[in-house]
Amino acid sequence: MNDWNVARLMERVRQRPLTAAWVAAIATVLVVMYAGVGAVFVHRWFSDSSQYHCVVVPFLVGWFVWRRWPELTAMSHRPSLAGFALLAFGLAMYWASARTGTRLLAGAALPVILSGIVAAVYGGRAFLLTAAPLALLIFAVPIPEHAVGMLAMPMQRVSAVITGALAPLLGLNVIQQGVNLDLNGFVFVVAEECSGMRSLIALLLTGFVLIEISSLPLRLRTVGVAIIPFLVLFANVTRLLFVLLLGEYFGPQFALGVVVHGVSDVVVYGSAVLALILIIGWFHDLKPTDAAPAAAQPSSEAAKAVVHEVEAPSADGGIIFGTMRGGTGDDLSVGVGGD
């Protein structure tokens, strides 16, 4: 099987030597551009436990592209000028990262550059088809700790505000001030670890995979990805309420224990994944099925036959509108009915 794939690849190279040369040249340039930055990223993947998710990203991107490969090879190539503009923007991002020494910006530039190349060479349809897999590359960029803190702070505040508003509904005497939750004189701090930021990153990756294998239309896939942050927020607030309830009935020290915090992390991630699976299932119920058009077809044919029996076959209106729609004699009855 592998020998057949290699032989097929070599045959394509012989058939399109110019394309093969361009692909090899682009790949070489990208390897040279990202050799230094990539080495730093890979080192962080394996040295920082919070970045272990980055390891699976290249394999996921390859799998996503492989699933789309038949469509990519079947479509016609129409280069897009917008692709060159996107490529120029990505190169500008890389240049800015080289000038400022910001590796995070260089990592963010890679999916932009690749998307620009796809759009410039193969066109807008290929760009839309590969946009999601290439966007996934952003998860391969290790996020610096200070950046995680900046992103987590808004989630900390929002989680604390919502928890403070819902806690009285559970009979808890909680006073919320900033990221602090005062329960009967004991202050629980919604710290960075309690913000749900790391759960958000993990769930976004999981959500991409679940939505990819769901075979949903593009519109529903986009909606599914967009609601993931809200699911994480909901699950995180549930975790905070759970900790406050334990603090109320078993004491603050028990609620802040390592076991409880470890279990609550699993609860946040697991409940958000379960909610996403249920939503994807609901989206499947919303998908239009082929059964409805098939069921409606006999009645449509019957109505068409009735019209043919009542009206004369040489009606002018049927000829005019049928011709305008580019139809044939089978469409004449539709034009007659319209008159």
Question: Per residue in 89-103, is it b (16+ CB within 10 Å) or e — as a string?
Answer: ebeebbeebbeeeeb
Average pLDDT in the chain: 77
User: Hey, CA dihedral for 309, 312, 314, 315, is it positive or negative?
Assistant: negative
Average pLDDT over residues 269-286: 85
Contact 30, 37 (CB under 8 A): no
Highest mean pLDDT, choosing among 74-78, 100-104, 107-111, 154-158: 107-111
Average pLDDT over residues 68-74: 85
Name the residue with higher pLDDT: 60 or 203. Answer: 60
Provide the terminal-to-terminal Cα distance of the chain, rounded to the nearest Å. Answer: 61
pLDDT at 196: 64
Domain residue extents for the chain: 2-142, 146-286, 291-338
Q: 182 has which bridge partners? A: 175, 187
Highest mean pLDDT, choosing among 284-288, 292-296, 334-338: 284-288
pLDDT at 335: 39
| Spatial separation of the C-alpha atoms in residues 176 and 183, rounded to whole Å | 9
Rg of the chain, C-alpha, whole Å = 28
H or E element, residue 228: helix 228-250
pLDDT at 220: 86
Q: Using 50, 70 and 90 to split pLDDT, how confident is the model at 219?
A: confident
Q: What global pTM score does this model have?
A: 0.67
Angle between helical axes of 124-135 and 57-74 (0-180°, round to 10)? 170
The distance of Cα 101 from the centroid of its chain, to the nearest Å, equals 29
Name the residue with higher pLDDT: 293 or 273. Answer: 273
pLDDT > 70 in the chain, percent? 75
The distance of Cα 102 from the centroid of its chain, to the nearest Å, equals 25
Q: Is the pLDDT of residue 2 over 60?
A: no
Closest to 108 (Cα-Cα) out of 59, 77, 142, 72? 142
Phi-psi category of 193—alpha, beta or left, where left has phi over 0 and alpha has psi -120 to 50? alpha
Q: Is the pLDDT of residue 309 over 50?
A: no
Q: Is the pLDDT of residue 136 over 70?
A: yes
Residue 324: C-alpha distances to residues 201, 320, 329, 331 (Å) = 53, 6, 12, 11
Residue position matching structure tokens 């519109």: 219
| Spatial separation of the C-alpha atoms in residues 100 and 306, rounded to whole Å | 75
Q: Is the pLDDT of residue 288 over 50?
A: yes
pLDDT at 89: 96
pLDDT at 115: 93
DSSP letters, 152-181, are HHHHHHHHHHHHHHHGGGGT--EEEETTEE
